[in-house]
Amino acid sequence: MNRLIDLALHLPTPEPALTVAYTPIRLSLPNRSVLELRLTAPASGRHLPIVLFSHGYGPSQYIPSKDGYAPLIQFWAERGLAIIQPTHASSRLGGLGPGQPEAPFYWRERVAEMQAVLDRLDEVERQAPAVAGRLDRSRIAVAGHSFGGHTSALLLGARLQDEDFSDPRIGAGVLLAAPGRGGDDLTAESAARFPFFDVDLGTIRKPLIVVCGADDNPHFTPRGPEWHADAFTDAPGAEALLTIAGVGHGLGGIAGLDAKETEAEVPDALETVRRLTFAWLSKRMGINTELWEKGRAALGGDASRLAALIEKVR
C-alpha cells in the first residue's frame, strides 16, 4: 500500500511478491578490475525473464552503480522480472577511474560489460543459488536511464560510425530519458565533448518503449524535452513513447529517493513509470498482455493527467 499515490492507482499492476537479491556478484574480466553486479529476482517461480539494467552517469556518488535505481528495480522484481545491474566502468564508486584513455565515460566498455554478463550467466547463477536454474535466457530485455539509455540503444542496434554493437540475445528495450540525436543537434561544446552521442538510432529494429519527462530540458542541445524522444521518432522498432507530466530527467524518482538525480520526488509520476514500463515489458515478454491494454485505457480516462502516450501503428 502506497499512501502517496493517487491517480496512478488507476493503472493496474500485479500485487508485489517476495524477492531475493545477491550483491556483490563478481565477474573477473581480462585487463581490468572485477565487474560487480546486483541480481534482484522473485523469490519463487521459474522461467524468469531477464532485464539487464544500465545506470546513468548522474551527479551522485553511489546511485550510478549496481546499488542505484532501487525504486524501479525492486518494483519490477516484485512482479516477476529478474534484473541484473552492473557497476559500469564509468561509475565513480566502483568504475575504472580517471587514468585510462576512455575515461571518464567509458561508453564502449559499458557495452562490453553488458555483453560479458550475458556471456557468463552460468557464473552469475552459481553466485546466486536461490535463482540458479530459474532464469529464462530466451527472454532478455535491456533497460537504461540517461547515459544508460545510450548504452542500451547501442545494444539494441543503434550504430556509431557504422559500427554495430547489437546483441542478438536481447529482444526488447526500455529507454528512460535517453540521449537523442548527436552531431548538429548538440551545442558545439557538447558535440566536442560527447562525439559518441552521434549515433544512428534509425538502425534499431528491436521493439522498444521510450520514456521521457515532459519538463526534461536537456543542456546538451538547444532543443527542448522532445530531444529525449528521438529514439521513438527514428527507430523502426520503437513501439511507444510515454511522456510523463510534471517531471524532468529523474522521472519522479526512478534513480533513488532523496537523491541528486531526482530533481523532484513526484510519487504519482514515479508510479506511472514503474507500472507502465512493467506493463510493456510484461506484454513483450509474454507474461501478461492485458496489463498494457488496461494501462493504455486508463491513460485515456481517469489517469489522463499523468502522462501522454503515443504508439506507432503497425
Q: Which CATH number characterizes residue 15's domain?
A: 3.40.50.1820
The DSSP output letter for 171 is -
Going by pLDDT thresholds of 50, 70 and 90, the confidence category of residue 53 is very high
Q: Give every CB contact of residue 7 below 8 A, 6+ residues apart in sequence.
A: 268, 302, 303, 305, 306
Residue 120 in any domain: the answer is yes
> pLDDT at position 25, please?
98
Mean pLDDT, residues 189-199: 96
Q: Is residue 285 part of a domain?
A: yes
Average pLDDT over residues 186-204: 97
Give the per-residue pLDDT at 307.
98
Q: With respect to residue 1, please indicate whether it lies within any of the assigned structural domains.
A: no
Enter the pTM of the model: 0.98
Q: Pseudo-torsion of CA 161, 153, 52, 74, nearest 10°?
A: 150
Number of domains in the chain: 1
Task: Identify the residue with better confidence: 98 or 150.
Answer: 150
Q: Looking at residue 185, what is its pLDDT?
A: 97
Amino acid letter at 258?
D
| pLDDT of the residue at 83 | 99
Residue 27: pLDDT band with limits 50, 70, 90: very high
pLDDT confidence bin for 115, thresholds 50/70/90: very high
Distances (CA, A) of 190 to 97, 109, 179, 213, 287: 22, 21, 12, 21, 41
Mean pLDDT of 290-295: 97
How many whole angstroms separate alpha carbon 242 and alpha carbon 60?
26
Residue 2 resides in a domain: no
pLDDT of residue 313: 82
Q: Domain span at residue 120?
A: 7-311
Asked whether residue 165 carries a pLDDT value surpassing 90, the answer given is: yes
In a domain, 156, yes or no: yes
Check residue 257 and give its pLDDT. Answer: 87
